A and B are shown apart, each in its own frame.
Chain A
């Protein structure tokens, strides 16, 4: 079946603009995660959704970052007033349930000029 998909694959924006990144998890997966990966670095947790529970936002670096998950499926990560330090690859993952294997999408490479 289809894996996790993300769009766009690449996004170039100017400093100060808002961006939206989309994630389509694997159908039936209740858990959805957003991570950020800076060049040559490991993955940094941003936010986690599980079913209808309140999301775990503990990894969001600032209030310019927010995310939604509509209908328990598609998720959108929004970054407002982008800064150059926001440049990174943003990865989405989903799992059937917590503590299960997380399947990653290909990521969105964000470049803030």
Chain B
């Protein structure tokens, strides 16, 4: 079946370093991708999204890269801060569905 998965379950970085979180998806029909951040005890919080007609999108300190050829998505966080510590999920929607399919998540730990 289709799946959206993550390469690394836990990522530990030093404060001030850049973080890269990776995600693979299997459905070539996926046309909308989102990264969510989830802190303990809270619902997922939107970070950034990208549509399949784009390769890159930048936000404030975050960049999402999409490689449709290899079905790979990444989230780059610049100058990682302690407040960035959370679990990060990639999610996708494909034509014919309206609900998101989520990956299993990567925990980002920022060391001071």
Interface residues of B (CB under 8 A from A): 32, 34, 36, 41-46, 49, 89, 91, 93, 97-105
The answer to whether B100 and A102 touch across the interface, beta carbons within 8 angstroms, is: yes
Nearest residue (CB) in A for B46 is A101
Q: What CA separation (Å) do A103 and B32 show in the bound complex?
A: 16
Which residues in B have their C-beta under 8 angstroms from that of A45? 99-101
Which residues of chain A have a CB within 8 Å of any CB of chain B? 4, 31, 33, 35, 40-45, 48, 50, 56, 59, 91, 93, 98-99, 101-107
Residues on the B chain within 8 Å of A91, using CB: 43-44
Given contacts A42-B103, A42-B105, contact A31 B98 (CB under 8 A): yes
Q: Which residue of A has the minimal Cβ distance to B32? A: A99
Tell me which residues across on chain A come within 8 A of B41, comparing CB atoms. 106
Chain B residues whose CB sits within 8 angstroms of the CB of A31 once the complex forms: 98
